[in-house]
Copies of this chain bind each other. A is one copy, B any other.
Amino acid sequence: MSILIVGSLAFDDIETPFGRSDNTLGGSSTYIALSASYFTDKVEMVGVVGSDFEQKHFDLLHSKNIDTKGVQKVDNGKTFRWAGRYHYDMNTRDTLDTQLNVFADFDPVVPLQYQNADFVCLGNIDPELQLKVLDQISKPKLVILDTMNFWIEGKPEELKKTLERVDIFILNDSEARLLSGDPNLVRSARIIRNMGPKTLIIKKGEHGALLFTDSGIFAAPAFPLESIFDPTGAGDTFAGGFIGHLARCETINDLEMRKAVLYGSSMASFCVEKFGTEKIAALDLLEIEDRYQSFLELSRTDN
């Protein structure tokens, strides 16, 4: 199955209590694509970069068989930049700087050869852009969407319009409470699923994730890490592993959804162990499977 990914490509300046990393390759679609690339060979990106996006960055993506023909390069433009600082507990961060640059005028164009994509993964960008992308895809089997509080507060109507066409919606617990207006996550989930997406994943950071489907609720633990180095991109990496696993399934049912959540969680647990994309750009299948088995072991209640 092919996965079309739309989102940002960026350079990040990241500061954590353990150090800092400047000019690090980042952006939602970069994390999603790298993460998904371990599960399928058909990962296609739509996005925009400036002339400062070097060949070595494309080379990294290509080395993972990621197709970047949908990434527009704007001459004399600068790539989207984000700078942030994480607090001591790593659960909260301050955004120090955001420069949209070439992203400010981004008009996503889906190349002809991507328009039959099986899965569409709409990374965290303006819901109007997400909708523009959907309008260019003929008949996707599955549409997955990620968003953030910025769009929930800033473009609620546009977001809701987009959600009507989404199958699987991924957001975190505080975003779910914000969007639903209800502090209880079970009730929140019902309210949000009524907006369109049949399947909802609520990420709870160090407390794991909840999957809501017609078949019930699945509670995935988080991996009990002794040290979290840099949380940047963990949510996008989760989405990449999740959709990556689904893309290799013959049939998508509740059980495979559950496994996909654990594969997503496995990928996210790697992501936070190093700065930026450093760790998820250099994994092998064996260690991913090992981590997945550790996740199964965490919840095991039989012999």
Residues of A within 8 A of B (CB): 88-89, 183-187, 204, 207-208, 210, 216-219, 221-222, 224-228, 255, 258-259, 262, 296-303
Contact = CB atoms under 8 A, between A and B. Distances in A.
Contacts of A89: 183
A258 B301 contact: yes
B299 A219 contact: yes
Contact of A224 (B217, B255, B297, B298): B217
A40 to B, nearest CB: 21
A206 to B, nearest CB: 8
A303 B255 contact: yes
A263 to B, nearest CB: 11
A297 B184 CA distance: 21
A216 B297 contact: yes
A89 to B, nearest CB: 6
Nearest to A221: B219
Given A210-B224, A217-B298, A255-B303, 17 more contacts: A88-B183, A89-B183, A184-B226, A186-B226, A187-B226, A207-B207, A208-B219, A208-B221, A219-B221, A219-B224, A221-B221, A221-B299, A255-B301, A259-B301, A262-B301, A296-B301, A299-B301
Contacts of A187: 226
A57 to B, nearest CB: 33
A227 B298 contact: no
29 contacts: A88-B183, A89-B183, A184-B226, A184-B227, A184-B228, A185-B224, A186-B224, A186-B225, A186-B226, A187-B226, A204-B207, A207-B207, A208-B221, A210-B224, A216-B297, A217-B298, A218-B298, A218-B300, A219-B221, A219-B224, A219-B298, A219-B299, A221-B221, A221-B299, A255-B301, A255-B302, A259-B301, A296-B301, A299-B301
A286 to B, nearest CB: 20
A242 to B, nearest CB: 14
A218 B186 contact: no
A152 to B, nearest CB: 19
Contacts of A218: 298-300
